[in-house]
Amino acid sequence: MRMIGAVALLCATSTANAQQVGGLLDKVTTAADGTDRWAVEFELGLAPALGTAIDDDAGDDLLDQSEISSAIKISRNFNSGISISATPAFSLSPNLYDADSHESALALRLRIQEENPFLREWRRGRIRLDRPVAQLFGGYTLGMGYTEVLDQRKSTDHVFAIGARLSNTAYLQRRAKQAGATGLIEPSQNSLALSVTPSLDFVASPDPDRRRFTPKLGGTAQFHMGTVTPFVEASIDRRYFSALRTVEGDQRRDTRFEASFGLNFDRAIASGGWPSILHFSIAAKYFRNWSNEADAGYERIFFVPTIRIQQKIE
């Protein structure tokens, strides 16, 4: 908790521009291991995202939210549990179904966080719970959107946010197996990793219609059961626009819900002898937006296979 006062004015969660600029922007840093060091992580990503609107009057048009991205994350962990990072990133959205809607984005995210384990490890029978971890974070994200490949700038967002991520992992010890003639017991267990992340962000922009305040709640669940990891991710936020008005003259307010259901193949890749820098997952993603602006609501679903190459240097 030592850094909360210092971080209260810093922040970073996604903007419309920064949200699509590389997995490192959204990647959660793992708990500090007590070492004091610098690290640099490189990433290249390809995420085809083809889908359709499922509103009653949406028609049969296909949608493309695919992304090609790159990012570099420079971070410093301190043995006090505090870490800082800077992540410049670039993304390109080709939009296969509309040749006039190619987009690209640049982002720079600065982040500071502190991790605090609390309570005690809990065991009962074959079930074990790790110590819960509270990760307090804050930061700043500069996001810039462009037409084509960095052609004409169409938006600039300054995002300030603070939040906390609460996480824990539950382990189920499977029945022990005898390890050959040595008589040793071979440990074998499944695990369920859970996290909940409440956050607040404020978007400042030269365009008054983009300025907004957004409380958000997100959660993840990962089921580690062998070489393939099923996962579920969901988030809901409420967007209060400071200047944007509906056609009736009311303050614009949107509620957005997102959910992903998928499989992560990182363990299968590692066990199959492939390079550890390669990451692959597939997911179905559902988006729903409710708004007090009559024409701003939508409901969409996408299929998203994602390939990323990540290399970390410490």
279-299, pLDDT tens digit by residue?
A: 999 999 999 999 998 888 999
Q: Give the range of the structural domain holding residue 115, as residue numbers without chain letter.
A: 4-313
Strand 67-77 and strand 229-245: the pairing is unpaired
**pLDDT value for 17:** 39
Residues of the chain with pLDDT under 50: 1-22, 28-32, 183-186
Nearest of 75, 54, 51, 73 to residue 63 by alpha carbon: 51
CATH of the domain at 157: 2.40.160.40
- Per-residue model confidence (pLDDT) at position 19: 38
Sign of torsion over alpha carbons 172, 174, 175, 180: negative
Q: Residue 130's pLDDT is what?
A: 87
Give the chain's domain count.
1
Q: What is the pLDDT of residues 157-189, one digit of tens each?
A: 999 999 999 999 998 876 555 555 554 444 556
